Amino acid sequence: MKKLALRIVTIAALAVVLAVGASCAKKEADKPKDITINMFQLKVEIKDALDAYAAKYSAASPGTTVKVETLGGGGDYGGALKAKVQAGQMPDIFMIEGRGGYDIWKDYIATLDGEPWIKDTDLAFKVDGKVVGFPVAIEGYGLAYNADILAKAGIDPNTLTTRAAYEQAFKTLEAKKRELGIDAPVAMAASVAGGMWWVAGQHNLACYWGGGLAFDDTSVIQNALKGQLDEARFAQY
């Protein structure tokens, strides 16, 4: 059993509206008004960092206040964002989840071509060659293990430092399933009844869609949209 490496990238999309007021030559320019920039995001694990950054930016930018609202941990972020639109409270900065999110919110998303940060990343989110998203998170997956089961199988977890070692451990567990009283060497903790269906649907299955491929390689997804399954890759997954 082979484990595919996976990186999930969550993309933030920026929608900016600039209001420009005209003034007569004989009139004094209007005093700039204080502005508030509202951000809505779904990554609870980076909430503290974003809150701290918003506070620091606000302190360094007189007249500008950045507010961050976080909804995550299984909450219906997409539904909440739609509710904000209906209430006339569309945030200035918000997160989208890949191309699916872009297709929903593209009318609210500005093109970011020419921004200085683009040269510093290989993960800018592009659609039709145009940069429309700034990457804000890269997630890594980890494996937790049952120490008692590994001990019974004669596997020292301290030796699991390479892919080959993991593959051998999985083979050992597979061969000793009945002896160990397990159904499979690997299990995923995701309860559908507990509202965790998205872990399997969005995260785990992403190993099949893109694991081990270049960031911009969507060939497996494109084939799936045509009704084609890569049987060898799926068996490996």
What dihedral angle (degrees, nearest 10) is formed by the CA atoms of 167, 169, 172, 174? -70
- Provide the residue count of the chain: 237
Kind and range of the H or E element at 70? strand 64-70
User: What is the pLDDT at residue 186?
Assistant: 86
Under 8 Å between Cβ of 67 and 38 = yes
Could you tell me which residues come within 8 angstroms of residue 151 by beta carbon, excluding any fewer than 6 positions away?
Answer: none
Residue 20's region, left for phi above 0, alpha for psi from -120 to 50, else beta, is: beta
Strand order in the sheet with 130-139: 64-70, 35-41, 93-96, 8-14, 130-139, 125-127
- The domains located in the chain, with CATH, are 8-139 (3.40.190.10), 147-236 (no CATH)
Contact 36, 30 (CB under 8 A): no
Q: Which two tokens stand for residue 222?
A: 């494109």
Contacts 24+ apart (CB under 8 A), 63-66: 63/32, 63/33, 63/34, 63/35, 64/34, 64/35, 64/36, 64/37, 65/34, 65/35, 65/36, 65/37, 66/36, 66/37, 66/39
CA nearest neighbour of 14 among 137, 135, 103: 135
The model carries a pTM of 0.66
Long-range contacts of 73-77 (CB under 8 A, 24+ apart): 73/44, 74/195, 74/196, 74/198, 75/42, 77/42
The tokens for 197 are 């269906």
Whole-angstrom CA distances from 179 to 62, 105, 219 are 67, 52, 41
Residue 30's pLDDT is what?
58
Residue 109's identity, in one-letter code, is I
CB atoms within 10 A of CB 201: 12
pLDDT in tens, 37-59: 999 999 888 999 999 999 999 99
CA distance 19 to 50: 26
Per-residue confidence of the chain (237 residues) as pLDDT tens digits? Answer: 333 333 333 333 333 222 222 333 334 455 568 999 999 999 888 999 999 999 999 999 999 999 999 997 777 889 999 999 999 999 999 998 888 889 999 999 999 999 999 999 988 889 988 999 988 876 777 788 999 999 999 999 999 999 899 999 999 999 999 999 999 998 876 666 666 777 777 778 888 988 888 877 889 999 999 999 999 999 888
Query: What's the confidence (pLDDT) of residue 32?
Result: 65
